[in-house]
Amino acid sequence: MAARNEKVAAEKRRLILDAAVRVFARQGFNQCRVSDIADEAGVAYGLVYHYFRSKDEVLDTLFLERWNVMLDVIRDLDGQDLVPRDKLYAIASFIVDSYRHDPELMKVIIVEVTRAANSFGQTHLQKITEAYELIAGIVERAQADGAFKDTVTPRFAALAFYGAIEQVLSGWIFETLPRGDTEFEQAKRLVVETVCRGLATYTPAP
Amino acid sequence: MAARNEKVAAEKRRLILDAAVRVFARQGFNQCRVSDIADEAGVAYGLVYHYFRSKDEVLDTLFLERWNVMLDVIRDLDGQDLVPRDKLYAIASFIVDSYRHDPELMKVIIVEVTRAANSFGQTHLQKITEAYELIAGIVERAQADGAFKDTVTPRFAALAFYGAIEQVLSGWIFETLPRGDTEFEQAKRLVVETVCRGLATYTPAP
Amino acid sequence: MAARNEKVAAEKRRLILDAAVRVFARQGFNQCRVSDIADEAGVAYGLVYHYFRSKDEVLDTLFLERWNVMLDVIRDLDGQDLVPRDKLYAIASFIVDSYRHDPELMKVIIVEVTRAANSFGQTHLQKITEAYELIAGIVERAQADGAFKDTVTPRFAALAFYGAIEQVLSGWIFETLPRGDTEFEQAKRLVVETVCRGLATYTPAP
Amino acid sequence: MAARNEKVAAEKRRLILDAAVRVFARQGFNQCRVSDIADEAGVAYGLVYHYFRSKDEVLDTLFLERWNVMLDVIRDLDGQDLVPRDKLYAIASFIVDSYRHDPELMKVIIVEVTRAANSFGQTHLQKITEAYELIAGIVERAQADGAFKDTVTPRFAALAFYGAIEQVLSGWIFETLPRGDTEFEQAKRLVVETVCRGLATYTPAP
DNA sequence: CATGAATGAGACTTCATTCAT
DNA sequence: TATGAATGAAGTCTCATTCAT
């Protein structure tokens, strides 16, 4: 009985979170009212506040749920026996596939948290930075192995890599870039190609 | 007399714009009130509405003023007789120097417009895209010349290049990255190095 | 079995009432939520509504339980063969000892009911007035006996007497007056001394 | 012009304060909405917030305006060459006349602040205590002069005196006591009579 | 008896914008 | 041009109460 209730409760909570994703993606976090979330979820206004302390906490929860999965994936990859290039490819794959699988959720995370560094992002700056650091770690070890040049600092390389992916996702999100399975696969390859081999056919050392 | 008055008026307008930069940078666009701008400028509340139709128009103006200068610079560069790599370097230089010269203004433009794609950025999506297209044009012609490989689409290359720069600026803005003249110069070189030559010492063609 | 259950039920009810005293005393009636009472009592949210029709009824019950005891005590005293001064002393004693014995309950009754004449007090105005009238009756008969002067109307004398006690209790409650066994005994004497003999060494008849 | 505007502004502020007195007196502070005040004053909702930071600040202002006048009056009286009894009479007069002159304002101050010790009163406890202390000072000096007995502590005497007056005013406010010019004058005399000469015809020293 | 999820009206406060002077 | 008082719509959050289990 209690177990049953807990399950039902968990389902309502999930119902609200899923509704929030749709509403945030459609209207934007600041442009939507809490009642929009409740309406979308088909529950009463106050129930949102039964499960979450505030509107912010709803977005918080969505972000952390997903971001932590990504951090775990990166940490896991890092431990595997792969060449650095493949590690970066796997990270790019995970992010692109996340978008393919749930574009609305990724839109919310990128637009409302990751890129909204002014307001909400500040709260999660540390969490976001953690991702950069994990990527920088991969680069650093690749440099130690001699697989990567040491002309670029690891931290900086991580920024460039993540920045490129985020920009591509932004392109899809704001529909300034064509979307589709072909494009998704191409993007994974190209971002790694660009960062690992560069655009130039030949460039003298600076 | 009329001319003199016009000049005074123009100065008041500028006073308000400059104050807005400081206030937006400090508090964020959504977190500040119109009265904060007026207070910072030392003018009356309503005067902001004498020179601007709305709070949005103030940010609008700040963004367009600067962004158009950048577009002009890129267009101008594109016409010059430089190798592609130097064109990219010049663009990176312009953006980094813009930040060095007026970090508050660049913070506002990046945080509140360029990255705030959810709300304000939408308005200027076309203007922002224009920059990508100019950069893509440079890449495209470099590929035609044989200076750049054609494994990466121009549009995509532009996103990666601009994404890397924006991410670095974000690092400075949110103070997750050290700032200073050395870092500024290093950043210019490294972003171009990364995008043109890649990180890998050697990578087989995919 | 039924009796046993009734007893258990009665105990739960008492549990809730006692918890309510602590919560009301700590947070104030309006500042606390029904769930705070339930939490303090260690029972489920809805159980409060099983025993009481509303949050108001909880306070209602606490007030009436205690106030009726006081009215009975006064009525009882009035029938005894005591000089008026000793009757007043006994009333003052009862009230002060009530506070000594259960300061939280008295705090709630005075702060949230007796003095909260704006909202809750209105409900019990008649009950509160009843106390004044009983005291006024004592004074009236004392005047008929010649023990008290008839320069002050009985009703008025009752207000002054009760007002003085309430003010002293307020002093203890809000900690603007030192508390302790000595002070409690002193207060009983002084309030009667003041009201019966006055402060002045000598005052001409007005 | 500026002076004119300031005057107009001050008048609107006063308009809101006066409306607030009527609304608070009629509905009670907690039971009225800010819009009720605005409606009563015939101004827009937001104007209340133009002149006051919050609903609380409106009540705050009303209380302090009046209470400070009273404190000044008491301080002033204290410096005059009057017998203690006349000083107490003057204080009682001032309070009773305040009620006669503006019963709604006094109702608000007593019901919502002075007696609402639970919530709002706490804020002004110090201010309220100041009044007790001034009265206690009068008693103390009267005892030093030999005009008052020293069987009752000054602080306690002040509480009894003020408590008696407050209780009488409460009686008028809640209409459990008849009101009228005769009653007002009588009250002034009787409260002083009670406190200075006592109710008893003869009482042995305790 | 007991539970606590679900409901939804209500209130404060904010602030962009307008407008009379 | 300049001022800042005035407007009022909008949105978050609270919490007493109900109800299904």
Whether the CB of C35 is below 8 Å from some CB of chain D: the reply is no
Nucleotide E6, nearest residue via CA and C1':
A47
Whether the CB of C127 is below 8 Å from some CB of chain D: the reply is no
Q: Which of B119, B102, B95, B117 is nearest to B168 (CA)?
A: B95
Q: Are B94 and B73 in contact (CB under 8 A)?
A: yes
Query: CA B94 to CA A188: how far, in whole Å?
Result: 29
Whether the CB of C91 is below 8 Å from some CB of chain D: the reply is no
Q: Which residue has the higher pLDDT, C198 or A111?
A: A111
| Percentage of residues in chain A having pLDDT higher than 70 | 89
Query: CA A184 to CA B71: how far, in whole Å?
Result: 29
**CB pairs A-B closer than 8 Å:** 176
Nearest nucleotide from residue D56 CA, by C1' atom? E12
Q: Are C131 and C114 in contact (CB under 8 A)?
A: no
Whether the predicted pLDDT of B203 surpasses 90: no
Rounded to whole angstroms, the distance from the CA of residue B109 to the C1' of nucleotide F2 is: 29
Name the residue with tokens 């003249």. B181
Query: CA A12 to CA A44: how far, in whole Å?
Result: 11
The secondary structure of A173-195 as a DSSP string is: HTTSS--SHHHHHHHHHHHHHHH
Give pLDDT, residue C137.
Answer: 95
Measure the CA angle with vertex A69, ends A67 and A70; round to 5°.
65
Query: CA B191 to CA B203: how far, in whole Å?
Result: 19
Residue of B nearest to A124 (CA): B174
Whether the CB of B112 is below 8 Å from some CB of chain A: the reply is yes
Whether the predicted pLDDT of A1 surpasses 50: no
Task: Give pTM, 2 decimals.
Answer: 0.88
> Which run of H or E residues covers position A134?
helix A120-145
Whether the predicted pLDDT of C110 surpasses 50: yes
Whether the CB of C117 is below 8 Å from some CB of chain D: the reply is yes
The secondary structure of C129-192 as a DSSP string is: HHHHHHHHHHHHHHHHHTSB-SSS-HHHHHHHHHHHHHHHHHHHHTTSS--SHHHHHHHHHHHH
Give pLDDT, residue A129.
Answer: 93
Maximal CA-CA distance, chain C: 72
Nearest nucleotide from residue C55 CA, by C1' atom? F16
What sign results for the dihedral spanned by CA atoms B13, B18, B21, B24? negative
Nucleotide E17, nearest residue via CA and C1':
B54
| Percentage of residues in chain C having pLDDT higher than 70 | 90
B158-199: per-residue pLDDT in tens? 999 999 999 999 999 988 899 999 999 999 998 998 888 866
Give pLDDT, residue C180.
Answer: 94
- Side chain identity at residue B79, one-letter code: G
For residue B47, the cross-strand partners are none
Q: Is A191 exposed, middle or buried (0-12, 13-18, 19+ CB in 10 A)?
A: buried
Residue D200, classed as helix, strand or coil, is strand
Q: Are B118 and A112 in contact (CB under 8 A)?
A: yes
State the CB neighbour count (10 A cutoff) for residue D5.
9
Q: Which of A67-81, B190-204, C143-157 has the lowest mean pLDDT?
A: B190-204
Query: CA D27 to CA D111: how far, in whole Å?
Result: 11
| Percentage of residues in chain A having pLDDT higher than 90 | 71
| CB within 8 Å of A205: residues ≥ 6 apart | A151
C32-50: per-residue pLDDT in tens? 999 999 999 999 999 999 9
Which residues of chain D have a CB within 8 Å of the CB of C125? Answer: 174, 176
Query: CA D27 to CA B70: how far, in whole Å?
Result: 62
Query: CA A63 to CA A54: how far, in whole Å?
Result: 15
Residue of D nearest to C203 (CA): D197
* φ/ψ (deg, to 5) at B5: -60, -40
Give pLDDT, residue A22.
Answer: 96
Give pLDDT, residue D6.
Answer: 57
Measure the CA angle with vertex C79, ends C73 and C84; round to 5°.
90
Nucleotides of E under 7 A from a protein CB: 1-21
Cross-chain residue pair C159–D171, CB shorter than 8 Å: yes
Query: CA A186 to CA A123: how far, in whole Å?
Result: 33
Give pLDDT, residue B9.
Answer: 64
Name the residue with tokens 């705050």. D60
Whether the predicted pLDDT of B206 surpasses 60: no
Reported residue count of chain A is 206
- Side chain identity at residue B175, one-letter code: E
Q: Is C1 exposed, middle or buried (0-12, 13-18, 19+ CB in 10 A)?
A: exposed
| Percentage of residues in chain C having pLDDT higher than 90 | 69
Query: CA B173 to CA B156: how far, in whole Å?
Result: 25
End-to-end Cα spacing for chain D: 70
b vs e for B103-127, b when ≥16 Cβ sit within 10 Å of the residue's Cβ? ebbbbbbbbbbbbbbbbbbeebeeb
C48-91: per-residue pLDDT in tens? 999 999 999 999 999 999 999 999 999 999 999 999 999 999 99
| CB within 8 Å of A188: residues ≥ 6 apart | A89, A92, A93, A96
Query: CA D168 to CA D174: how far, in whole Å?
Result: 10
Give pLDDT, residue C1.
Answer: 47
| CB within 8 Å of A135: residues ≥ 6 apart | A74, A88, A91, A157, A158, A161, A162
Which chains form contacts with chain B, at 3 or more CB pairs under 8 Å? A
The secondary structure of C61-103 as a DSSP string is: HHHHHHHHHHHHHHHHHHHS---HHHHHHHHHHHHHHHHHH-H
Q: Are C125 and C106 in contact (CB under 8 A)?
A: no
Whether the predicted pLDDT of D206 surpasses 60: no
Q: Is A190 exposed, middle or buried (0-12, 13-18, 19+ CB in 10 A)?
A: buried
Chain D nearest CA to C42, separation (Å):
25
A2-36: per-residue pLDDT in tens? 445 555 666 899 999 999 999 999 999 999 999 99
Query: CA A84 to CA A139: how far, in whole Å?
Result: 7
Residue A108, classed as helix, strand or coil, is helix
B82-135: per-residue pLDDT in tens? 999 999 999 999 999 999 999 999 999 999 998 876 677 778 889 999 999 999
D34-89: per-residue pLDDT in tens? 999 999 999 999 999 999 999 999 999 999 999 999 999 999 999 999 999 999 99
B7-55: per-residue pLDDT in tens? 666 789 999 999 999 999 999 998 899 999 999 999 998 999 999 999 9
Query: CA D81 to CA B125: how far, in whole Å?
Result: 82
Q: How far is CA C48 from CA C19, C123, D119, in A?
A: 11, 21, 24
The secondary structure of A78-97 as a DSSP string is: HHS---HHHHHHHHHHHHHH
Which residues of chain B have a CB within 8 Å of the CB of A111? Answer: 117-118
Chain C nearest CA to D128, separation (Å):
10
Whether the predicted pLDDT of D1 surpasses 60: no
Residue of B nearest to A197 (CA): B198
Reported residue count of chain B is 206
Which chains form contacts with chain C, at 3 or more CB pairs under 8 Å? D
State the CB neighbour count (10 A cutoff) for residue D35.
11
Query: CA A85 to CA A97: how far, in whole Å?
Result: 18
Which residues of chain D have a CB within 8 Å of the CB of C198? Answer: 194-198
Query: CA C63 to CA D133: how far, in whole Å?
Result: 32
Q: Which alpha helices (DSSP H) does chain B contain, by range?
A: 2-27, 34-41, 47-51, 55-79, 84-101, 103-108, 120-145, 154-173, 181-197
Which residues of chain C have a CB within 8 Å of the CB of D151? Answer: 190, 193
State the CB neighbour count (10 A cutoff) for residue A7.
10
Whether the predicted pLDDT of C197 surpasses 90: no
Query: CA C160 to CA C166: how far, in whole Å?
Result: 10
Give pLDDT, residue D198.
Answer: 67
Residue of D nearest to C139 (CA): D199
Rounded to whole angstroms, the distance from the CA of residue A5 to the C1' of nucleotide E4 is: 10
Query: CA B41 to CA B18: how far, in whole Å?
Result: 8
Nucleotide F10, nearest residue via CA and C1':
A33
Q: Which residue has the higher pLDDT, D28 or D205?
A: D28
Residue C108, classed as helix, strand or coil, is helix
C13-28: per-residue pLDDT in tens? 999 999 999 999 999 9
Cross-chain residue pair A198–B196, CB shorter than 8 Å: yes
Q: Are B171 and A159 in contact (CB under 8 A)?
A: yes
Task: State both tokens at A124.
Answer: 């999660």
Give pLDDT, residue D89.
Answer: 96
Query: CA D157 to CA A5: how far, in whole Å?
Result: 62
Return the DSSP state at A159: H
Q: Is C94 exposed, middle or buried (0-12, 13-18, 19+ CB in 10 A)?
A: middle
Rounded to whole angstroms, the distance from the CA of residue B55 to the C1' of nucleotide E16 is: 8
Whether the predicted pLDDT of A192 surpasses 70: yes
